[in-house]
């Protein structure tokens, strides 16, 4: 439900721009507001699940997500939609991390690998079927049904949780929640994303943007000071001392900074610049999901054969090239060629992320796995949010004074996000050639 919702909204952005009578570029707020809420509230998910019980928190998160979905459908302007997406994000921030804790806690160790394989399927299937569902919905109904469709699915999910998910005992000895750390990290993250989101589009005066950036950096600096004295910080930055984990976070953030803009730019390119219908555009974007799905069986074998450093450097380079390629799509580009480019891009992107996400835990002690997972999830969302903002700014610059969104105006944004993706290459080249060999199964040189 969560992954379908995100990809469906991307397909519906041009429709929403017409419904709200706003500039299509401003619709990126509907994407970044949700991602921002994920980044801010995800750190609290682990503590809340342990303190109050994973099943109870998961059901509450589903309720908040469904409330946000209903409010999104009832929105009649961009401001209301952004506020509703924040509510959705508050629920979504608790859903996936807590669901992972439920699966891990209820599964025998000898079946955990299989269980986690099934657990990752929504992340693959959601982006695969989200765009076609959105295209079909928009062809037979109005845009609010993009959100209303979540309601019956969520209610059935809640019934399934009550029926199948075992109760978990709350922990009373967990200690206090890191409230100061949560507030400071939330202010630092949200301030940074808001400044990036409003840059170049004249939503805030320059003095307000400078002041907000200064506040964000001050909160971040203060958090760095107090987290060293906190027994259980909301974000454990000491984990960055492990080279493989540091490379995974830094490289992955740069890649997401690049590719994060693709779900925002592609619907505008296909539906606004090329004049395609939402259904036709969704068939093309479906190709990315196909590439991602096909890559899964090959990833483990590739890592065992070539190792993490080689796999990461090769696939991040290819990902950067295929990320930039849609900038050269035009009216004369065959639809089959577009789908081939997006399929190959999805294949390379999936291999890159599988390698980066796996090597993150190569050197992290088992006792710090939960903290590492939380910090990784937050940086992922920050990277995606900043990526959407960066893509919007590049498109704003490219379209010039006349404001036209013609195919040639998308060349600069896509090339720019491809170059940002390529910035991760030096990070991965700096890895030891045998990095992660213990978990990839590759023999050391």
DSSP code at position 272: I
Rounded to whole angstroms, how far apart are CA atoms 388 and 187?
Answer: 20
Q: What is the pLDDT of residue 389?
A: 86
Please report, for residues 59, 81, 164, 272, 373, the alpha-carbon distance to residue 18 in angstroms, rounded to integers and kept in the order given: 35, 14, 43, 11, 39
Instruction: Determine the length of the chain.
Output: 445
- How confident is residue 441, by pLDDT bands cut at 50, 70 and 90? low
Across 198-231, b (16+ Cβ under 10 Å) vs e yields bbebeebeeeebeebbeebeebbeebeeebeeee
Q: Which of 38, 58, 3 is nearest to 384 (CA)?
A: 38
CB 37 within 8 A of CB 92: yes
* Confidence band of 442 (pLDDT split at 50, 70, 90): low
Q: What is the mean pLDDT of the chain?
A: 85
pLDDT of residue 303: 76
Q: What is the pLDDT of residue 319?
A: 94
Joined together, the tokens standing for residue 173 give 């000895």
The helix (run of H) or strand (run of E) holding residue 396 is helix 369-399
Rg (CA), the chain: 21
pLDDT in tens, 404-436: 889 999 999 999 999 999 999 999 999 888 777
Q: What percentage of the chain exceeds 70 in pLDDT?
A: 93
Are the C-beta atoms of residues 153 and 26 closer than 8 Å to each other? no
CA–CA distance, 431 with 306 (Å, rounded to integer): 14
Rounded Cα distance, 176 and 371, in Å: 16
Residues 6+ apart with CB under 8 A from 184: 219, 220, 222, 223, 226
Kindly state the average pLDDT of the residues 242-270.
Answer: 89
Q: Are 318 and 421 in contact, with CB atoms under 8 Å apart?
A: no
Is the Cα torsion angle 108, 358, 190, 197 positive or negative in sign?
Answer: negative
Specify whether the CB–CB gap between 351 and 302 falls below 8 A: yes
- Per-residue pLDDT band at 216 (split at 50, 70, 90): very high
138, two tokens: 């928009």
Nearest Cα residue to 20 out of 136, 29, 388: 29
Q: Rounded mean pLDDT of 230-250?
A: 87
Structure tokens that stand for 225 in this block = 């000071």
Confidence of residue 207 (pLDDT cuts 50, 70, 90): confident
Q: What's the token pair of residue 304?
A: 């065992």
Structure tokens given for 345 = 């891009």
pLDDT tens digits along 124-164: 677 677 888 888 888 888 999 999 989 998 999 999 999 98
- Quote the pLDDT of residue 111: 67
Question: pTM of the entire structure?
Answer: 0.82
Average pLDDT over residues 344-359: 86
Torsion 118-31-348-378 (CA) sign:
negative
| pLDDT band at residue 113 under the 50/70/90 scheme | low
Q: How high is the pLDDT of residue 98?
A: 82
Answer positive or negative: Cα dihedral of 298, 304, 306, 309.
positive
In whole angstroms, what separates CA 78 from the centre of its chain?
21
Q: Which of 171, 247, 188, 126 is nearest to 378 (CA)?
A: 188
pLDDT tens, residue by residue, 45-85:
878 887 888 889 999 999 999 999 999 999 999 999 999 99
CB 316 within 8 A of CB 352: yes
């Amino acid at each position: 439900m969560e992954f379908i919702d995100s990809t469906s909204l991307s397909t519906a952005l041009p429709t929403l721009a017409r419904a709200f009578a706003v500039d299509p570029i401003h619709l990126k707020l509907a994407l970044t507001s949700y991602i921002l809420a994920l980044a801010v509230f995800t750190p609290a998910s682990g503590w809340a699940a342990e303190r109050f019980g994973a099943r109870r928190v998961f059901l509450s998160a589903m309720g908040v997500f469904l409330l946000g979905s209903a409010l999104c459908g009832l929105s009649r302007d961009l401001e209301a939609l952004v506020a509703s997406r924040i509510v959705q994000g508050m629920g979504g921030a608790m859903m996936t991390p807590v669901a992972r804790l439920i699966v891990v806690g209820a599964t025998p160790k000898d079946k955990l690998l299989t269980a986690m394989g099934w657990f990752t399927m929504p992340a693959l299937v959601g982006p695969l079927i989200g765009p076609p569902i959105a295209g079909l919905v928009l062809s037979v109904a109005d845009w609010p049904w993009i959100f209303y469709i979540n309601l019956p699915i969520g209610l059935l999910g809640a019934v399934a949780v009550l029926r199948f998910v075992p109760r978990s005992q709350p922990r009373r000895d967990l200690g206090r929640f890191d409230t100061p750390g949560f507030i400071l990290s939330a202010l630092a993250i949200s301030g940074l994303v808001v400044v990036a989101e409003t840059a170049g589009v004249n939503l805030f005066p320059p003095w307000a943007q400078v002041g907000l950036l200064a506040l964000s950096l001050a909160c971040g600096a203060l958090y760095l000071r107090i987290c060293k004295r906190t027994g259980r910080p909301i974000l454990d930055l000491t984990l960055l001392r492990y080279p493989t984990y540091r490379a995974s976070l830094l490289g992955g953030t740069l890649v997401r900074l690049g590719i994060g803009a693709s779900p925002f730019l592609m619907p505008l390119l296909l539906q606004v610049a090329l004049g395609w219908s939402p259904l036709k555009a969704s068939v093309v974007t479906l190709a990315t999901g196909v590439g991602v799905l096909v890559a899964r069986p090959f990833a483990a074998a590739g890592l065992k054969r070539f190792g993490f450093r080689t796999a990461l450097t090769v696939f991040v380079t290819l990902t950067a090239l295929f990320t930039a390629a849609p900038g050269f799509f035009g009216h004369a580009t065959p639809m089959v060629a577009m789908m081939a480019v997006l399929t190959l891009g999805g294949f390379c992107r999936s291999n890159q992320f599988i390698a980066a996400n796996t090597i993150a835990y190569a050197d992290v002690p088992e006792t710090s796995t939960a903290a590492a997972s939380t910090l990784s999830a937050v940086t992922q969302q920050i990277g995606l949010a900043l990526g959407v903002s960066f893509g919007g700014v590049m498109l704003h610059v490219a379209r010039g004074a006349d404001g036209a969104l013609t195919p040639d105006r998308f060349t600069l944004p896509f090339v720019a996000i491809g170059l940002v993706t390529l910035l991760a290459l030096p990070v991965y080249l700096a890895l030891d050639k045998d990095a992660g060999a213990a978990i990839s199964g590759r023999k050391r040189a």
